[in-house]
Amino acid sequence: MKKVTVIKIAEKGVQHLNALETKKIPHRVWSPRVNKLNVSMKVHAQTERLTLREWTYSDVDEYAEIIADPEVMKFIGNGEPRPRAMAEDFVVRMVQQQEDRGWNRFAVEHRKTGALVGFSGLDMQNGLLDFGWRLGREFWGAGYGFEASAAALWIAQNTFSLTKITAQSFPENVGSVRIMEKMGMAQIGEDAFQGKLLLVYGFAQEWPDGLTK
């Protein structure tokens, strides 16, 4: 794997957010499911240009813009852009996972501007540890996808000791397949979504018999 330097790991470093940020919390998030604010977040790692950190409710606006973009969503699920309500649900789920187990699809922030770049990290899907990445279109083509994912992999393996990580992509999603290859993953099997082929990648040494469900 090409080297990405994770230059700062602040496992215990909790950054306290200004309480004023709570003003940005959308009404829908104030549901009985979320009856408290997350006024602090943990930074998992920093690379040269990016911070990988926990999610906060104030990320909803920027994340909603990312998933409303049809180009971003083209190779995800049924390829449809997603409504704001799904961004809210996603952030609520991420905050819950942070509390429950620590790891998730980490929020990726641009260090210089503070903008939300997107996410890279892990989730459980159909019994597999699934590695995924999704960046706002303005951030494509500058190496951020690989930089974020190499750092997310580092955190998954070193901070959370996770193994048997898989990743899936439609073969037409060339950038995504390339990120899997650059991280040292190889095809270990295949799956399908609505009749369309999905390539399943993993670290070959962890899957000597390929993908066995």
Q: Which residues bind ligand COA (CB under 6 A)?
A: 72, 75-76, 133-135, 140-146, 169, 173-176, 178-179
DSSP 57-95: GGGHHHHHHHHT-HHHHTTSTTS----HHHHHHHHHHHH
Q: By C-alpha distance, which of 76, 36, 32 is closest to 56?
A: 36
Number of neighbouring beta carbons within 10 Å of residue 47: 20
Q: Measured from the CB of residue 191, what is the shortest distance to ligand COA in angstroms? A: 12
Q: Measured from the CB of residue 98, what is the shortest distance to ligand COA in angstroms? A: 22
Closer residue to ligand COA, CB minimum distance, 76 or 107:
76
Written as six digits, the tokens of 213 are 């469900």
Q: Measured from the CB of residue 164, what is the shortest distance to ligand COA in angstroms? A: 18
Closer residue to ligand COA, CB minimum distance, 25 or 199:
199
Distance CA 91, CA 114 (A): 18
Closer residue to ligand COA, CB minimum distance, 74 or 101:
74
Closer residue to ligand COA, CB minimum distance, 29 or 45:
45
Q: Measured from the CB of residue 157, what is the shortest distance to ligand COA in angstroms? A: 19
Distance CA 149, CA 120 (A): 6
